[in-house]
Homo-oligomer: A and B are copies of this chain.
Amino acid sequence: MSLSYESSGVRYDQLDAFKRACQKAARATAQVLHGHGYAEPATTRGESAYLMEAADHFLAHVEEGLGTKNLVADAVYAATGKCFYREVAIDTVATIVNDLITCGALPISVAMHAAVGDSGWFADEKRTNALVEGFAEGCRTAGAVWGGGETPTLGGVVEPEAIVLAGSAIGKIAPKSLRITGDVKAGDTIVFLASSGVQTNGLTLCRRLAAQLPQGYQTPVGFGDPRSYGEALLAPSVIYVAFVRECQRRGLKLNYVAHVTGHGWRKLMRLDEPFVYEITNVRTPPAVFRFLEQAGPISRREMYATFNQGVGFAAYVSPEKADAVVAAARESGYDAWLAGTVRKEGARKAVVVPSLGLTFEGDTLQVR
Spell out A's residues near B (CB within 8 Å): 9-12, 14-15, 17-19, 21-22, 25-26, 28-30, 32-33, 35-36, 38, 40, 45, 49-50, 52, 59, 61-65, 67-68, 70-71, 106, 108-109, 111-113, 115, 117-120, 122-123, 128-129, 132-133, 135-136, 139-140, 143-159, 162-164, 166-168, 170, 172, 204, 207
Task: Collect the chain B residues with CB atoms within 8 Å of residue A154's CB.
Answer: 65, 67-68, 164
In this complex, which of A17, A35, A123, A164 has the most chain B Cβ atoms within 10 angstroms of its Cβ?
A: A164
User: Do A67 and B152 touch (CB < 8 A)?
Assistant: yes
Determine the residue in chain B with the shortest Cβ distance to A11: B119
Query: Known: A10-B153, A157-B159. Is A136-B65 also a contact (CB below 8 A)?
Result: no
Determine the residue in chain B with the shortest Cβ distance to A65: B152
Task: Collect the chain B residues with CB atoms within 8 Å of residue A52's CB.
Answer: 108-109, 145, 147
User: Do A25 and B157 touch (CB < 8 A)?
Assistant: no
Known: A12-B119, A22-B149, A30-B145. 10 other contacts (CB 8 A): A15-B151, A15-B153, A21-B132, A32-B143, A33-B145, A50-B111, A62-B111, A63-B149, A156-B159, A167-B168
Shortest Cβ gap from A297 to chain B (Å): 22
Task: Collect the chain B residues with CB atoms within 8 Å of residue A11's CB.
Answer: 119-120, 153
Query: Known: A33-B145, A63-B148. Is A170-B167 also a contact (CB below 8 A)?
Result: no
User: Do B61 and A168 touch (CB < 8 A)?
Assistant: yes
User: Do B21 and A128 touch (CB < 8 A)?
Assistant: yes
User: Do A166 and B144 touch (CB < 8 A)?
Assistant: no
Q: How far is the CA of A111 from the CA of B135 in the complex (A)?
A: 21
Shortest Cβ gap from A48 to chain B (Å): 9
Q: How far is the CA of A9 from the CA of B160 in the complex (A)?
A: 12
Task: Collect the chain B residues with CB atoms within 8 Å of residue A67's CB.
Answer: 152, 154
Task: Collect the chain B residues with CB atoms within 8 Å of residue A145's CB.
Answer: 26, 29-30, 32-33, 38, 40, 52
Query: Known: A9-B155, A21-B132. Is A26-B146 also a contact (CB below 8 A)?
Result: yes
Q: How far is the CA of A239 from the CA of B143 in the complex (A)?
A: 33
Query: Known: A14-B120, A108-B59, A113-B166. Is A29-B151 also a contact (CB below 8 A)?
Result: no
Shortest Cβ gap from A44 to chain B (Å): 8
Shortest Cβ gap from A60 to chain B (Å): 9
User: Do B172 and A36 touch (CB < 8 A)?
Assistant: yes
Q: How far is the CA of A207 from the CA of B150 in the complex (A)?
A: 22
Q: How far is the CA of A166 from the CA of B150 in the complex (A)?
A: 9
User: Do A155 and B25 touch (CB < 8 A)?
Assistant: no
Shortest Cβ gap from A145 to chain B (Å): 5
Q: Can you name 29 A-B pairs with beta carbons within 8 Å?
A: A9-B118, A10-B119, A10-B153, A11-B120, A15-B153, A26-B139, A26-B145, A26-B146, A26-B148, A29-B139, A29-B144, A32-B144, A49-B148, A50-B148, A52-B108, A52-B145, A59-B109, A61-B109, A61-B168, A63-B167, A63-B168, A68-B154, A68-B155, A70-B157, A113-B168, A115-B164, A155-B204, A158-B162, A168-B168
Task: Collect the chain B residues with CB atoms within 8 Å of residue A62's CB.
Answer: 111, 148
Task: Collect the chain B residues with CB atoms within 8 Å of residue A119's CB.
Answer: 9-12, 14-15
Shortest Cβ gap from A231 to chain B (Å): 20
